Amino acid sequence: MENRKSVEALHIDREGSGTRMEWTAREFPLTIMLNGEQLVTVLCSPGDLKALAAGFLFSEGMIRAKEEITGLTLDGERGIIRIRTATDKTADGKLFMKRVLTTGCGRGMAFYSYADLDRKKKIRSDLRVTPAEVLALSRRFQGASELYRTTHGVHSAALCDNREILVFAEDIGRHNAVDKVLGRCLLDGIAVSDRILVTSGRISSEILFKAAGSGIPVIVSKSAPTDMGVELARELGITLIGFVRGGGMNVYAGEERINLLRGEPGAAPALSAAAGDEGSSANEE
């Protein structure tokens, strides 16, 4: 199924008005069945749905490894994905009592409880990044989404090393985009430790939970964090970088991973070389 659809719209500007065709992002309801029972229905973009489902289960702590998945089938016509796990887990009542309505696009939910967070378990990583590397990654990231350029209606997320985008995903929901990245890494056996998560949306506590559960040490966004996002990043030992734009950035937590020294072997080009205003096209909500 296409991720976008052309619709007729009345366009009005200073020169007058008229009808024209505009691209819109498709919205697709996907029901995730876990071991024969309905777990949740997610409103999403209809692309890489198996990765979305796997990433959702992984980020919510229901599975920890690909080997736990014994069956994964998608019925695209009915919008149903069926997952079987080795331990035959089901969506029990206690799980649903822990639902949290998220701040994502539309009405999202998560199954974690804030009391479940082990705040003593900090992310340990030797990863170091330079400001120039962050700016260069952000620039590549902003140019990676053709769907955003045509619809202006989706979010993006990516797993990166210091120089390249390793996994990229886009979705109408910023949480879904992150789950698609995590799910693709899980299904393809891509390690996420010592990697960077780049996201187009604001960095809220839900994104921190997803990163922490995966062991990702650095999060980067052109948008702002929430206060709880900053608090959790500091407690969990995650480097949180926001407002990456116009040649600058704010480091809200984990500044010890930012290498400000120049001239080191393998360092990125000077800050001015990777800088430059990336415009105002970021999908920030």
| Encoded tokens for 203 | 């960095």
Catalytic residue status for 44:
no
C-alpha span between 186 and 69 (Å, rounded): 10
State the catalytic residue, choosing from 44, 105, 160, 185.
Answer: 105
On the 0-12 / 13-18 / 19+ scale of CB atoms within 10 A, 124 is exposed
C-alpha span between 261 and 256 (Å, rounded): 12
C-alpha span between 210 and 178 (Å, rounded): 8
C-alpha span between 73 and 49 (Å, rounded): 10
DSSP state of 190: -
CA of 253: how far to CAs of 11, 27, 217, in Å? 44, 35, 11
Could you tell me if 185 and 167 are in contact, meaning their C-beta atoms sit under 8 angstroms apart?
yes
Name the strand (E) or helix (H) holding 156.
Answer: strand 155-160
CA 10 to chain centre: 33
On the 0-12 / 13-18 / 19+ scale of CB atoms within 10 A, 194 is middle
C-alpha span between 274 and 137 (Å, rounded): 9
Name the strand (E) or helix (H) holding 219.
Answer: strand 218-221
Torsion sign, CA atoms 119, 127, 274, 173: negative
Q: Mind telling me the catalytic residues?
A: 105
